[in-house]
Structure 1
């Protein structure tokens, strides 16, 4: 780029998202009074200009810069779209270079005019640079002192090939290429290499030199996919070295398998389906003749490489491609990787290379040009490396649980279940194994154990019941031990520690209710479980009744043989989960069912039943009691008693009989205390047993007696 003299213009233009023609009009109005050359003020200093282009066409921006500088600025067909550009100054070189750098554009000067493009092609000869112009050198020859430099940003492949052909003089012929914009910055020693780099992003495209021109085209392979049909019979007889075959509605795979076993040859089918042979009958033919006829009858052909016969679809005409297209087959035996996995890797890495996996025997076939086959074989050598498998023993979780929540460092394909449920095989590098074991240590841990102290009470309330028992608090003396035991005698035999959890006042009232039969213990137990699992408690009674029908002739009940069951009692389900801070989240579902009075026992009809259910979800700390109440029921019973025979006499029977009405109000209350068992405590079992075995007297009364005796001894 030659040096440009400084030019300036006294103008300030702001261009927004207006039409392009208005931009040109504005520029003309701003510049009509100014000459093309920049002027200087009275002090001899350059005048400055200010440009603000907002979302304007490239052509309009170049036109404005051309009017300002006085140079001819044009753009080729690769430059299109809009741009935003702002400049303050008086140096054209600075403004023009800044605009090109910002928009990834290139400029070339020729005859005093500048052409702006999105690509630049230059040729260097022994250190000197020739920008543009043609070259008589052959595009396929390499010259150590000559280099072709291509810089393109957002240009289609066809425009780059057209520019390369025009500038280098190399004849390049191509088909319709994919319409994609590419960005390439390359430096090569030949035009052919440069053209090959341009089409490299397009899978399946290649450049071929026929001596007169460089041809760019796409190679494609078609495959047949015969429909599957049902299989039938097959007869093969061997007499010496000759074979007789009678095939009627048989599969090609069956025939090839039988012929291979008879002769002891290795055969591999590369067909995607197993075609049907409708009918074939030959006698006294050699094995090669029979094998060829069987393949042709099924619409296939075969080739032999390294003593192995490979069956291919006839529509591919593989032998013709081998003779005329310069393609060849190579057989590669894998030792550590499955052929199906290697095929997927090759298809993604080498799209021009045909790959067929010969079952699971470790054999894979490659077809293509010699250079592509060599690259494919080197790639397979890198892929086909041995990976050691190691046994990983699980301590606390099962293999099924591990597969449900895999660590992030491994995939399901890296692990194999041993079938025992307590171990897996890991396949992978040693570094990945160490990471997996470190993550597994956070997962393979024992689940937190939970203990639930459960007390279920039924309270009965009535207007005739009087709560007369009271409790008082005073300093304990030596003789008060028997008094405390007498006041809480009904509670000391409970497994549930009512006194410690709810205090003396509540315990005294509960003891009084138990003494007066106004409260009844339905359940007093301890349930053990693990975090995340459900524990159940069930205390029910089952009553069975036989269904009966009334005989229409006699009017007496007649049993039908059907037995019905009525379940009465209580069931409790608790699902607990321990959070990170030790809180216990419990889902409690309780149901209380009760059988009514058997008023129709003579006819064996089932009595009425009632059921009360409650389901809740609560949070509690370790050792914090949870109370569930509200399961209330109001029962009313009426009965009549009197003198036999006399009670049935009108008026007199009413005077001599007795009627009784009874109303019972009951409420079921559940007390649940969750306990989190420590995982790392070896003495947790013994300590828990001692805690459960301790009575209220040992926990409450005895320490106070010792304290009182010690105080008197000091005095």
Structure 2
């Protein structure tokens, strides 16, 4: 696929350059000849094709602007010929050129004998049959007047083993060398000895076919020669080799390969040019993997033995390796050393998830040792007992419950106005013993708060707050308890939402025109608390409080949204559990005007002031936020013994005394 893509890109770029109607030259680097022909055909505008003799790659450079000269130079450098017609140019390695004297001249360059004979048969319309002619390309440049003349020339090129027979115009090329006897020479020596499962070979001046015949007979194997085996082995001697390795070495001497199909060995031509000697003695062997992946095993094998020719078999969790027999045995032993069953332990987390654990792996634990389970709190650990014991010790510190936090929240709105009220009161009773040293405090709704005001701020503060509430100088804006975890953010909001529609004022009439878009203004109290518990039990609290207020709605008259005001406080404090946090400064000032009029008379200029009463007042409101953080621990009670004694003392001194 990659090759096809690059070829298409190359052809496209070439055509783009040609479309500019200017030829600066050709440059082809190691390209298929078919691709080169296709590329130049796009420029020339005529179909240029290669016949069955065209194959291989070529490199060609030409600097010039004449296409015909460049094309002829390319054909000459590659020993090719072209036959031109109006529609198609056919490029071939074979060319028949008739002359005026009736002689036909044949040019053939690097053509297999069988293909050349077929070309002669087609050119003259003569039936030509032949024995195996070999695969070595031949070149022939000769003249003649009949098919027989050219076939004789081909036979002369092939050698003395071949001869031509003419039977009433039907030509046949016979191979005169007998299959077995032709192997024998005066210096031929073939010795094949079998020792149990191994073989020893001593060969001198013998053909590959003769040696293979002796080897197959000694091993009792069935075989078929599907290629020319007449190649000579000058000298070969090796011993104690397996049958596969021995046969592979002999085949490599003749450029052949050995294939086994259904127990029958086929001797065929080698399809890997230049690698048969390097791969001699190598065999394919399958290695099965039991406890790890085939890809990992192949990677380890290449790291240990260098680059190997391996093919992964994913469906079987195995791989094929192409190596010599002794290397195959070493690879098999190496696989046994790491392909062993690993100890696996099931770990069930109590308080955290597997994802949380993977983000904070303890020292000595690798992510590859963790396999997730079907549940979020279960995973499998692969390792020995010592590693698992170390993991369990680390889990005691990691798999812990998240520290819980609780905030007692009390928001009081204090009000003060510029005014003064005076009341007189008088009460008379008999003096009692202890009047001079006795004190009393009246606590009502303060004791009903979620926040323990008496414990957090003391009796004096609780009494002052109760008095302010009784006199309507203080109102409870919020009284609740917020729960969260260490590191998390708690949000509290007590707001009002005002919705209005956008409008545009008509410049001609001055009448507002609503656009249909609805917007919101949110006003009120918002509190965000982020708490964190340190190792010594201290609580760090980051508090952000904002108070916003919406003004009068004037959108129907002015076309603008109502005004808003906002005040924000952000602080970060550190304290122990139970120590209160007080946020102040959220002050709002309001001014109100009350005007009373006498109907009719109050509208008289100047004189109307005598019939009006105007009173203005200023009101100041302040929101005070009281927060008391608590760290909820299972091993400690919410109230200490000292606090319980204090509550008991309050109850006995205040409640029981009032009953008397």
With structure 2 as the length reference, what TM-score do the two structures score?
Answer: 0.52
What is the Cα deviation at residue 316 of structure 1?
Answer: 10
What is the Cα deviation at residue 666 of structure 1?
Answer: 2.5
Q: 2:378 aligns with which of 412, 419, 423?
A: 423
Q: 2:535 aligns with which of 580, 584, 588?
A: 580
Aligned-partner Cα distance in 2 for 1:707–1:648: 65
Q: Does 1:375 align with 2:330?
A: yes
Q: Does 1:620 align with 2:569?
A: no
The 5 Å alignment of 1:315-330 reads 317=272, 320-321=275-276, 325-330=280-285
1:702 is matched with which residue? 651
User: In 2, are the aligned partners of 1:339 and 1:360 still within 8 Å (CA)?
Assistant: no
Task: Give secondary structure in 1 for the equivalent of 2:458.
Answer: helix
Aligned-partner Cα distance in 1 for 2:292–2:261: 21
Task: Give secondary structure in 2 for the equivalent of 1:320.
Answer: coil
Give the direction of change, closer, same or farther, for the CA distance of 1:385–1:228 in structure 2 (3 Å limit): farther
Structure showing greater radius of gyration is 2
Aligned-partner Cα distance in 1 for 2:270–2:570: 70
Aligned-partner Cα distance in 2 for 1:307–1:569: 89
What is the Cα deviation at residue 370 of structure 1?
Answer: 3.8
Aligned-partner Cα distance in 1 for 2:446–2:589: 27
Q: Does 1:630 align with 2:579?
A: no
Aligned-partner Cα distance in 2 for 1:597–1:663: 17
What is the Cα deviation at residue 620 of structure 1?
Answer: 1.0
Task: Give secondary structure in 2 for the equivalent of 1:342.
Answer: helix
Q: 1:338 aligns with which of 293, 296, 311?
A: 293
Aligned-partner Cα distance in 1 for 2:258–2:410: 83
The 5 Å alignment of 1:543-622 reads 543-551=498-506, 555-598=510-553, 606-622=561-577
2:621 is matched with which residue? 666
Aligned-partner Cα distance in 2 for 1:489–1:228: 88
Give the direction of change, closer, same or farther, for the CA distance of 1:347–1:508 in structure 2 (3 Å limit): same
The 5 Å alignment of 1:66-465 reads 226=3, 317=272, 320-321=275-276, 325-351=280-306, 353-359=308-314, 361-464=316-419
What is the Cα deviation at residue 516 of structure 1?
Answer: 2.0
Aligned-partner Cα distance in 1 for 2:512–2:642: 59
Aligned-partner Cα distance in 2 for 1:592–1:390: 55
What is the Cα deviation at residue 436 of structure 1?
Answer: 1.9
Q: Does 1:517 align with 2:479?
A: no
User: In 2, are the aligned partners of 1:448 and 1:530 still within 8 Å (CA)?
Assistant: yes
What is the Cα deviation at residue 589 of structure 1?
Answer: 1.4
2:226 is matched with which residue? none
List per-residue Cα deviations over 1:583-602 (Å, max 9, x = no partner).
01111111111112346666
What is the Cα deviation at residue 555 of structure 1?
Answer: 4.3
User: In 1, are the aligned partners of 2:418 and 2:619 still within 8 Å (CA)?
Assistant: no
Give the direction of change, closer, same or farther, for the CA distance of 1:323–1:547 in structure 2 (3 Å limit): closer
Aligned-partner Cα distance in 2 for 1:430–1:307: 50
Aligned-partner Cα distance in 2 for 1:630–1:410: 52
What RMSD over aligned residues (CA atoms) do the two structures have, in Å? 4.4
1:163 is matched with which residue? none
User: In 1, are the aligned partners of 2:440 and 2:654 still within 8 Å (CA)?
Assistant: no
Give the direction of change, closer, same or farther, for the CA distance of 1:708–1:541 in structure 2 (3 Å limit): closer
With structure 1 as the length reference, what TM-score do the two structures score?
Answer: 0.48
Give the direction of change, closer, same or farther, for the CA distance of 1:567–1:305 in structure 2 (3 Å limit): farther
Give the direction of change, closer, same or farther, for the CA distance of 1:498–1:373 in structure 2 (3 Å limit): same
Residues matched between the structures, number: 397
Aligned-partner Cα distance in 2 for 1:504–1:339: 77
Task: Give secondary structure in 2 for the equivalent of 1:512.
Answer: helix
